[in-house]
Amino acid sequence: MRVGCIFNDVFSATQSREKAAVLAELHGSIVKLVPIIYEHVLQYLRDNASDALYSPAMFDQDLTDHLGALLEAVPPIEAGTLAEGKTPADFASILNVGWAVLLTKLSELQVKPSGPDPFGSDRTERLQGLLSKAVELSEARRIWQS
C-alpha cells in the first residue's frame, strides 16, 4: 500500500493530519520494528510472566497427553501422572489440542452423530462442547486445589 493511500485513509477516519502522517510513515519501518518489539515482549514475559509462554515442546506434550483422549470424547481436564500428582489442564493446552482435532482429526472424533452430518457440523458442535466442559472442569479443579 502506498504512503499516500494510508495517509488519506487515516486522515478521513480521524481528521488528524499528524496521526495520518505518523501512521503512513510507520508502514515502511514496521518490518524493522517487529523483531525488536517481539524480543522486548519475549524478554519481559520471561522475566515477569514465564507461565504465559507456550513452547513447541509444551504443544507436543499436550498432544501426547490429550489428543487420544479427546478423540475418544474425553475432555482434557488435567495433566500429569498419579505418581507426580495431576494438575488442571491449562487454557492454552485445551485450546491447542482442540484446534489440532478440529483442523486435522475431526472425522476421528468418537461421538455419535444425531443424524446425517455431511459437513461435520455436528462433530464440530460436540468438540466445542467437550472443550467448554474441559475449561469449566479444569478451572473448578484449579479453584478446589487452591
Quote the pLDDT of residue 35: 95
First to last CA, the chain: 52
Quote the pLDDT of residue 105: 93
- Binned average pLDDT, 10 residues per bin, the chain of 146 residues: 78 90 84 94 95 92 94 90 81 96 93 74 90 94 85
Residue pair 75/134 in contact by the 8 Å Cβ criterion: yes
Q: Give the 3-state secondary structure of 74-114.
A: CCCCEECCCCCCCEECCHHHHHHHHHHHHHHHHHHCCCCCC
Q: Name the residue ranges covered by the structural domains of the chain.
A: 3-51, 54-145
Quote the pLDDT of residue 120: 66
> Which residue in this structure is represented by grid cell 517487529?
34
